[in-house]
Each structure stands twice: as structure tokens, then as C-alpha cells.
Structure 1
Amino acid sequence: MKNLDQRNQIIEHSLKLNSTNLSPLRSGNISLRAEQDNIKGYLITPSGKKYETLKPEDIVFMGLNEEAENNDSVNKPSSEWRFHRDIYVYKKDAQAIVHAHSPHATAVSSHGKSIPPFHYMIALAGGEDIKCAEYATFGTEELSQNVIKALENRSACLMSNHGQVAFGKNLDQAFELAQEIENICHQYTIALKLGEPKILSLEEMKKVLEKAKDYKKG
């Protein structure tokens, strides 16, 4: 089978979505940049299948210029294939993507606001704050455009009334970043219960962002 190792990686991390409660039940999706039959594209989890039932042949390959309705796979790709594709098109450094409906990130996203730099770990997403993409119906081109906008100069964002998405140079990195975003959102909700948290200055965040470059390499 083509890309067997990558397909198994996707299944492994899909199971972790459930076991870590990053995305319960069938919610969320995972993809990896890939090439098949000299076509550049990505492998993505199928639509509607429980993660514990996934087999390598269930993972769907899609070309970067392909629409879901033209895909000849036995399984349908995740309904969110569009923003996965567009991230790979617009973010050349994206090799893996994790989309999760993680509890705290989803709760924060329901307010439709960016997370300010109440903690320096915000910098792990690549900017001085974590943007929240404007709401649009799942699976739509509008949602994909909103996500790409929120990911400007960043490798993760929230999705209003939906969840979060993160990408990295491999699945381990993308998954870890998604976990970091969930943890930051959890901390933020606790901080808000105590009142308005102190916000770090733009000058301080610029220092942190510079240091974070080395942190990500580690």
C-alpha cells in the first residue's frame, strides 16, 4: 500500500485525539502532506468513521488541486478537507495538521475573540496573540478563508464556535502544539474567573517570540 507509514502515523495520532481527550468521539481530523503517483497532496482522515476502527486503507489521499467530489476513494475525506488543503497550499512549512474540538479551546472560541498575551507561551503559536477565525459553516470555502486569515504569521488559531487547528513540521509537533493551545485556553478560562488578567506588552512579546524560535527547534 502506498504511503503506509504515513497512513499509520495518522491512525496513531487519531487514536490519541480520543485517548488524550483532545477531541472526543469522532470530532476533529488529522492530515499529512504527501505525494502519490507523482501528485502532490495530502492524506486525511475519512468522514464519519470512529478512530478505533481506522485501517490504513481508510485514510484518503487528495491532490492539492482536487475537489472532494472528484475523489475516487472508497471513503469520503473529512468534511474539513478544504482548510487542510488550503493550509498546505498557503503554508509551505506545514507538513502536518491537527484540527480538534478540544473542550477549553472550543469554549474560548465561542466568544469569537483572540486570546491576548496573558502568558508568554502564547508565542508558541507564532504571534503576540492567538487569533480566532470568524465563524462560517463547517466544510465551506468561507470557513477555509477565515482560517487562513487567522493563521497569518501563525501556526495555530481558534475557530469561532468550533475548535482549533494547528500545524507543524510533523505530526508529533502539530499534535503537541494543539495540546499547548488547549492548555493555554484552559489557563485563560481560569484567569478570567479571577478578573481581567495582566497582559504582557508588545515589546515583551517580541522578546519572547525571538526566544521561541530556539524553543521550537528543541
Structure 2
Amino acid sequence: MNEASTTILKSKIVEVCHKLYSRGLVAGTDGNVSARLQNGNILITPSSLNKGDVQAQSLILLAPDGKLIEGSGKPSTEVKMHLFIYTSRPDVNAVVHAHPPYATAFAAARLPIDAHVLPEIALMFGTIPLAPYATPSTEEVPQSIAPFVASSKALLLSNHGAVTFASDVHEAYLLMEKLEQAAHILFLAHLLGGAKALTENELDRLRALRKELYRKELFSIQGDLSQ
């Protein structure tokens, strides 16, 4: 990747960080964003910096194994999770970790978000697994998400937050925004007596639609609608 492309990618990461902060998906110095360059190196946000204050020069460049190449400060404390996702998913080039209030409330209650309630969520995510609790910033985090990364694009992290990953940083951000919207809707539906899951027949029709959309490359869809 040439210097111009790297500059563009940095600007996209900065834009996503500012959106996360302005839309209340992170607070304080919460959250982290990374993107993988074509040569395998990784740009990641630094530790202890408010996402609303992130600038291109704030970003840290790492080798695929996590060794520092360029940048001041320390990479995000959740760098182990980011590196694990990239190693596990060659198709993934961006990871967003945030603490969106409603999705994190589900994670804190250790309740999964039922992706089979809203058609657009079922189409976009397939399933949204709930990973077991892991001590943040430790090797426990990659271990806790390991069973789910291959077949998902969004995870809840018990008592912690959420992580989304996709082929580019903008898509990973949109997944986080959509995840939070789904959690908010399900919370409100609970107040109204509980959401009603789609029937198996309705899910079958969505599965067929999902395959058709994937064939036409209208959506970048992965995950499993069968669960």
C-alpha cells in the first residue's frame, strides 16, 4: 500500500473514531479501532485517548505480530483481540470495539441479542454470539471469542462491550451502529411485553434472500442464520 492509500485509510479510521464518540457508542477513553493494510501491517488507535480526539498522527502502526513499527504512545490495550481476529479471518481488514450502551447492557446482563427478530438484522449478521467473560486486555479475550470469530461479524463480550469486524473500517463501524440499534429496539420491545421471533418459515425465506443477495454481491454477508 502506497503512502497516499495509507493516508486515506488513516483518515477513515479517524472519521470512524469521531463517529463512535459523537454518537455515544464510546465514552472517556473507551473503545479501539484498527485496520489492516495490504502489506499485512495494522493501524490501530492508541491507549488512553478519547476517540473524539483521535487524529491521523495519533495512530500506531504495528507489524502483523504486534511489534511496533511507527507511532508514539502505546497501542490499544485490546490489541491482542484485534490481532487474533486478523489472524483468524484473512477476509477481515477492520475491527471496531466499543461500549454502546444498549448492546453493552445486554452483555452486562449476559443476554444474547436475538438476531431472528428483525429481518434486516438476520440478513446482516446471521447470529450475534455472546462470548464468555474475559479479563480485558489479557489473552483471555482472544480465547473467549475464538469459538465464534470464524462464523460471525459481531460479538457481544460479556460484562464488557461489543466488537464488530468487516472487510473495511466503514463497514465495521456500520455494523456497530446497527448492533446498537438492534439492542435498543429489543430493549424497548421487552418493555412492551417482549419481541416475537420470526417463524422458521419466515427465516427460511430470509435465508433464500440472503443467498441471492450474496450471489449478486449486494451485501457482504457472513455468519450462520441457522442458529
Would you say 1:187 and 2:190 are equivalent positions? no
**Displacement after TM superposition at 1:131 (Å):** 0.9
Aligned position for 1:83: 81
Aligned position for 1:25: 28
Structure 1 unaligned blocks of 5 or more: none
Would you say 1:103 and 2:106 are equivalent positions? no
Structure 2 unaligned blocks of 5 or more: 222-227
Aligned position for 2:120: 121
For normalisation by structure 1, the TM-score amounts to 0.86
Identity in percent: 31
1:11 partner SS: helix
**Displacement after TM superposition at 1:121 (Å):** 2.6
Whichever residue aligns with residue 29 of structure 1, its letter is: N
Aligned position for 2:18: 15
Aligned position for 1:65: 65
What is the aligned counterpart of 2:205 among 195, 204, 207?
Answer: 207
Superposed CA deviations along residues 131-185 of structure 1, whole A, max 9, x for unmatched, are 1111111111111222232334111111111111111221221111111100000
1:216 partner SS: coil
**Displacement after TM superposition at 1:62 (Å):** 1.5
Superposed CA deviations along residues 91-132 of structure 1, whole A, max 9, x for unmatched, are 1221111111001000111121322222223324532x3111
1:112 partner SS: coil
Would you say 1:74 and 2:72 are equivalent positions? yes
Aligned position for 1:54: 54
| Structure 2 Cα separation of the partners of residues 121 and 131 of structure 1 | 17
**Displacement after TM superposition at 1:192 (Å):** 1.4
1:157 partner SS: strand
2:151 partner SS: coil
| Structure 1 Cα separation of the partners of residues 163 and 220 of structure 2 | 21
Aligned position for 2:225: none
Query: Do 1:166 and 1:174's aligned partners in 2 also have CA atoms closer than 8 Å?
Result: yes
For normalisation by structure 2, the TM-score amounts to 0.83
Query: Do 2:111 and 2:130's aligned partners in 1 also have CA atoms closer than 8 Å?
Result: yes
| Structure 1 Cα separation of the partners of residues 124 and 98 of structure 2 | 15
1:183 partner SS: helix
**Displacement after TM superposition at 1:82 (Å):** 0.8
| Structure 2 Cα separation of the partners of residues 217 and 133 of structure 1 | 23
1:149 partner SS: coil
Matches within 5 A, 1:128-167: 129-167=127-165
73-82 or 52-61: which moved more?
52-61
The alignment covers a number of residue pairs equal to 212
| Structure 2 Cα separation of the partners of residues 106 and 210 of structure 1 | 31
| Structure 2 Cα separation of the partners of residues 102 and 186 of structure 1 | 10
Query: Do 1:26 and 1:49's aligned partners in 2 also have CA atoms closer than 8 Å?
Result: yes
| Structure 2 Cα separation of the partners of residues 10 and 61 of structure 1 | 13
143-152 or 21-30: which moved more?
143-152
Superposed CA deviations along residues 197-217 of structure 1, whole A, max 9, x for unmatched, are 222234533432442452525
Query: Do 2:89 and 2:150's aligned partners in 1 also have CA atoms closer than 8 Å?
Result: no
1:139 and 1:130, CA in 2 relative to 1: closer, same or farther beyond 3 A? Answer: same
